[in-house]
A and B are shown apart, each in its own frame.
Chain A
């Protein structure tokens, strides 16, 4: 029997939270209903009371809770973020996921027993950067950016003193996380500070001559022909003309599915696998968590992993193993 990897699952509502745990999640990542987390969408996330009840539910079922406070505090508004850290500690979270240096410093001094995880938003992509966070703030786990290959992850794990968590399924960003300004340019709202890439208030869909036209902040960013799969209204997945080329200049609308790489990621020393999608429904959460929990159990039991079962739920209806397998090299 191999050592079992930890499955970290997203939840955007208390209902999705319960669905994830009932489907076999070991750990839930979630956030408060404000700009302190990177999925600040309307109708999503948890009030303090809902978070308290959800944490109790998770602990009754032997699951853990990670509260993401992973946006970057705006100048003059630090107290909103520090209050979120204080509340997370008071409510009994198992860890907080942070990105900002100031907030890490605050949390490590104010709550020395609170377990700190480094968000993917911090974009720590080498051993030296990770060790800096570990030694300076006592960070215990780092969520690695989605730009590393499996051999690079293995090399990092050999040199660091903390756990690593990597994305296994869900939406992909083309940029090293935390450094993308595309959505800010089009909407005036920063994903990294306001917590929403392509905020819904700036998104417009319209059927024009049989095509679905997506606009962000007034810019037409994609036209989907009748019957063609539609992407999220993000600039990185938009279709543009550049010279003689017309197409996805930055990135194709595809989602990460690295189920087939679970054995290699385990071999590379990864502790936890993370599913993206706090903005998705409980139907998505239930289906994806159940599928990956089975995959992890099969891996631990030495059975073959059945991959590629979740394409219908993905953006663009197509999947990729992303940077884990850099086939273009």
Chain B
């Protein structure tokens, strides 16, 4: 059976709250997440090759902010900025947050989202393709990555983080974690 094509939008009340939220804490979280991803998924950079030197603008169209991703092997960075302060980038990937996270979690096929115009790409197409393929191969679970940010306390944090992700997913309609079918067995 094909994937469901109805992609939920992020709740307006959540987007309004984010409009007022300071970017610094989000960027701090993004930096930790990127650092952990780099440590736990080194083959991501092998697959990215030279494209790891590019700047990617990840643009959730239903949020009032964008993310600047610099997937450098030594010091990967993920920074949250206001859309009007996006700065220079090599490649832009835009779409509803649910679509972008769905790509990470293997829920959606990137080409199908492009065909249906749910996903917009601009700039360096080669870099976008490399990033898409590299992430798809890593079978990333953002809930697991968030738990890993607790370092040695990961095993304590895992259950609460997964519960929070499940509640957040239910409220927003956005898959914040891989479903059991998408997790390795």
**Chain A interface (Cβ within 8 Å of chain B)?**
12-16, 18-19, 22, 41-44, 47, 199-201, 203-207, 212, 224, 226-232, 279-284, 286-287, 290-291, 309-317
4 closest pairs, A vs B, by CB? A43-B133, A43-B130, A42-B130, A13-B137
Check if B116 sits within 8 Å of A43, measured CB to CB. Answer: no
Interface contact B107-A283, CB-CB below 8 Å: yes
Residues in B lying within 8 Å of A, measured CB to CB: 1-3, 5, 46-49, 51, 103, 106-112, 114-117, 120-122, 125-134, 136-139, 184-185
A291 to B49: give the CA distance in the assembly, Å: 34
Residues of B near A316 (CB, < 8 A) are: 115
Set B49, B106, B107, B112: member contacting A42, Cβ < 8 A: B49
Q: Of the candidates A12, A201, A284, A313, which one forms a contact with B125 in the assembled complex, judged by CB atoms under 8 Å apart?
A: A201
Q: Is the CB of B117 within 8 A of A42?
A: no
User: Quick one: given A312-B5, A312-B112, are A281 and B136 in contact (CB under 8 Å)?
Assistant: yes
Please indicate the chain B residues that have their CB under 8 angstroms from the CB of A232 in the complex.
111
Asked if B131 contacts A203 (CB within 8 A), the reply is: no
What's the nearest-Cβ distance from chain A to residue B13, in Å? 27
Are B117 and A230 interface neighbours, CB within 8 A?
A: yes
Distance A28 CA – B129 CA, assembled complex (angstroms): 22
Q: Which of B5, B120, B134 meets A43, CB within 8 Å?
A: B134
Chain A, Cβ-Cβ closest to B47: A43
A14 to B134, CA, bound (A): 11
Nearest Cβ distance between residue B59 and chain A, in whole angstroms? 12
Residues of B within 8 A of A228 (CB): 117
* A309 B2 Cβ-Cβ under 8 A: yes
**Chain B residue at smallest Cβ distance from A19:** B106
Residues of A within 8 A of B127 (CB): 42
B contacts with A: majority SS: helix
How many angstroms between the C-alpha atoms of A15 and B137 in the bound complex?
A: 5
A22 to B120: give the CA distance in the assembly, Å: 31
A12 close to B2 (CB less than 8 A)? no
CB-nearest residue of chain B to A290: B1
Query: Which residue of chain A lies nearest to B46 when distances are taken between CB atoms in the complex?
Result: A47
Residue of B nearest to A226 (CB): B117
Partner of B115, one of A22, A231, A286: A231
Is there contact, CB below 8 Å, between B47 and A282?
Answer: no
B2 pairs with A204, CB closer than 8 A: no
CB-based contact A43/B48 at 8 Å: yes
In the bound complex, CA of A23 to CA of B114 (Å): 24
Determine how close the nearest CB of chain B comes to the CB of A314; give it in whole angstroms: 7
Cβ contact within 8 Å between A281 and B115: no
| Inter-chain contacts of A314 with B (CB < 8 A) | 112, 115
* Chain B: minimal CB distance from A48 (Å): 13
Q: A13-B137, A311-B2 are in contact. Are A41 and B117 (CB under 8 A)?
A: no
Contacting pair A16 B116 (CB below 8 A):
no
Assess whether A281 is in contact with B106, with CB atoms less than 8 Å apart: yes
